[in-house]
Structure 1
Amino acid sequence: MIKETKTELFADYFQFYIQDENADGDLSDSWTQEAVDRLLALAPGTIGVGTVRNMHVPVTVKIFDSEPEMIADNEHIAQINECSLETDTGRLVLAGCTDYFPDALRIEVTPGTHRARIYYGNLDKISEDGLDGEDFYEIHLWRTNKNEALLIVKDRNRATP
C-alpha cells in the first residue's frame, strides 16, 4: 500500500463521491433503481458510493501499486463492487454530495486509469431510526492500463453459498 486516507463524510442523500477534480460529477441520471440496489452509480471520472445511512459515515481510501488481495471477511463485508475510474488531473476529490467542493478532501494519484474496489461493511448494523450504525466504506484503488466494466463481486441482495 502506498497511501491510506481515513475520514468521515456526510452521506447526504445516502451517498458520497470520489471523482477526478475536473470531472462534472453529475450523477443525477446515474442513480437508477439498479444503481441504488448495488450502492454504486457511475459517470465519467466519477464514482458515487451509496450508503445505508443518511449521516456521517466512516470512509477509508487505500492506494496500491498493483491489485491488492481481496478482503475475505464474509462476516462484516456485505457488498463488494469494482469499477474503473479515469483521472486526468491525478487529484481525486472525496466528498459528500452536498459538501463544498473547493474545501473537499483531495487525494493525489497517478493520472490515468485506476480500478476501484469498494467494500461495504456492517450494513446490517444500523439503529432502527437509521441515525447510528457500525457501517463502513473502504475503497481500494490501483493503477491499471485498461478500463474494465463494472463488476459486482459480492451482492448483498443475494445469498452467498
Structure 2
Amino acid sequence: MEVRRQHRIYDLTRLLHLQIVLDESAPHRVVGSPDVMREQLERLNVLGAEPHITMQVLPCTADAHPGLSGPFSILQFADSPQAQSAPLRRFPWADAWPWPRRCSGSVAPTTRGSGRCSAVTEEWSAQALADHLVVRQDLIGIRTEVNVDVEADVAWVTEPPVKDLDLYNHVVEASMEIASGLAVVMGCSDYLDDAPRIHVEPGWVRLRVQKSNLAAAAVAGISSDESPDTVERVKIEMWPQGPSAPSVLKRWH
C-alpha cells in the first residue's frame, strides 16, 4: 500500500497535487531518536521542493481549529469547483464533560519573577507581576508563585459563583473573548495539541482566578509540587458575562 501510494505521487503522467499542513509542534516532537528525526526533517525538506507538493506549517499561536480533533476532509465538487465542503468531526471533549465543564490536574507555570511566557512577553509589567495577571482580549496569563507545576482546577459555570475570599490567598478577575467556544488551558512549555480544552459558551466570559497554599509553596520552592501539603493550587471559574476591567479582589504580598 505504501509503495503504491508513493508511486502515484511521483508518476509524472498523472501527478497528484499534495497539500500538507503540519502543526508546528509535530517537527519538535521526538519520535525514535535524534537521527531518525533528522532524516524525517530532511525528507520533508526534499518533498517540499517538489513543484506538485505544497507544505505549510500551522503555528502554535493559531486559534482552535478542526484539526485538533483529528483528520478531516475537504471535498470539491466537479459540477461546482468553487463550492467546497469540509465535514468536521465534533470535538470529543465537548461531549465528554457534563455542565459544569471542568478539568483538573497539574499545569506548567506561566511565569515567576523574571521569567516570561513568550506569548505575552511584553505585557508582563511590574503591575502585571504584582497582580499575577496579564490580560488580552483573547488570552489571559497567570503568574504562579513557584516555578514548578501547580495543581489547577478549571470549570465553566452558568452564572457568577459565590465569592469565598477567606479560602484563598490571591483572587483576581478578568474578561476574555472566546469566540470559538473552546478554552485552552496550558502552560508556556506545553504543546497546544496536548493541552486540555473546556467547552464554553462562545463570546465574552469572565474569569475568576483563585490561588491558595501560596505560603507553603513559596517556602518549599522548586520542591513544592512533590507534596499535596506544599503544592500551589489555582482554581479558575468561568461564566458568561460582557467585558469589564480586571479586578484584584484579594492580594497576596
Shorter-chain TM-score range: 0.7 to 0.9
**Residue 150 of structure 1 aligns with which residue?**
246
Q: Is 1:79–1:156's contact at 8 Å kept on the other side of the alignment?
A: yes
Partner residue of 2:232 out of 135, 145, 152: 135
**Residue 21 of structure 1 aligns with which residue?**
none
**Residue 154 of structure 2 aligns with which residue?**
61
Shift of 1:136: 0.4
**Residue 140 of structure 2 aligns with which residue?**
47
Q: Is 1:16–1:95's contact at 8 Å kept on the other side of the alignment?
A: no
Q: Is 2:138–2:176's contact at 8 Å kept on the other side of the alignment?
A: yes
Map 1:11-30 onto structure 2 (within 5 A).
Answer: 11=109, 13-14=111-112, 26-30=119-123
Amino acid at match of 1:83: A
Q: Over the residues paired in the alignment, what is the CA RMSD in angstroms?
A: 2.1
What is the TM-score of this pair, normalised by structure 1? Answer: 0.83
Partner residue of 2:201 out of 88, 91, 110: 110
**Residue 22 of structure 1 aligns with which residue?**
none
**Bigger proportion of residues as strand:** 1
**Residue 4 of structure 1 aligns with which residue?**
102
Shift of 1:26: 2.4
Task: Tell whether 2:177 aligns with 1:86.
Answer: yes
Q: Is 1:10–1:16's contact at 8 Å kept on the other side of the alignment?
A: no
Q: Deviations over 1:95-152 (max 9, x none)?
A: 01111112211111111010001101111112645121332000010001x2000011
Kindly name which structure, 1 or 2, has the bigger radius of gyration based on alpha carbons.
2
Q: Is 1:65–1:142's contact at 8 Å kept on the other side of the alignment?
A: yes
**Residue 20 of structure 1 aligns with which residue?**
none
Aligned counterparts of 1:103 and 1:16: Cα–Cα separation in 2: 21
Aligned counterparts of 2:111 and 2:175: Cα–Cα separation in 1: 23
Amino acid at match of 1:140: E
Count of matched residue pairs: 147
- 5+ residue gaps, structure 2: 1-98, 225-229
Q: Is 1:16–1:96's contact at 8 Å kept on the other side of the alignment?
A: no
Aligned counterparts of 1:127 and 1:69: Cα–Cα separation in 2: 27
Query: Between the two proteins, what is the percent identity of the paired residues?
Result: 24
Larger RCO, structure (CA 8 Å, separation 6 or more) = 1
Q: Is 2:181–2:201's contact at 8 Å kept on the other side of the alignment?
A: yes
Aligned counterparts of 1:127 and 1:91: Cα–Cα separation in 2: 32
**Bigger proportion of residues as helix:** 2
- The secondary structure found in structure 2 opposite 1:126 is helix
Change (3 A) 1:140 1:129: closer
- The secondary structure found in structure 2 opposite 1:26 is helix
Shift of 1:80: 0.6
What is the TM-score of this pair, normalised by structure 2? Answer: 0.54
Change (3 A) 1:49 1:147: same
Higher deviation after alignment, 122-131 or 103-112: 122-131
- 5+ residue gaps, structure 1: 18-24
Aligned counterparts of 1:47 and 1:127: Cα–Cα separation in 2: 23
Shift of 1:12: 5.4
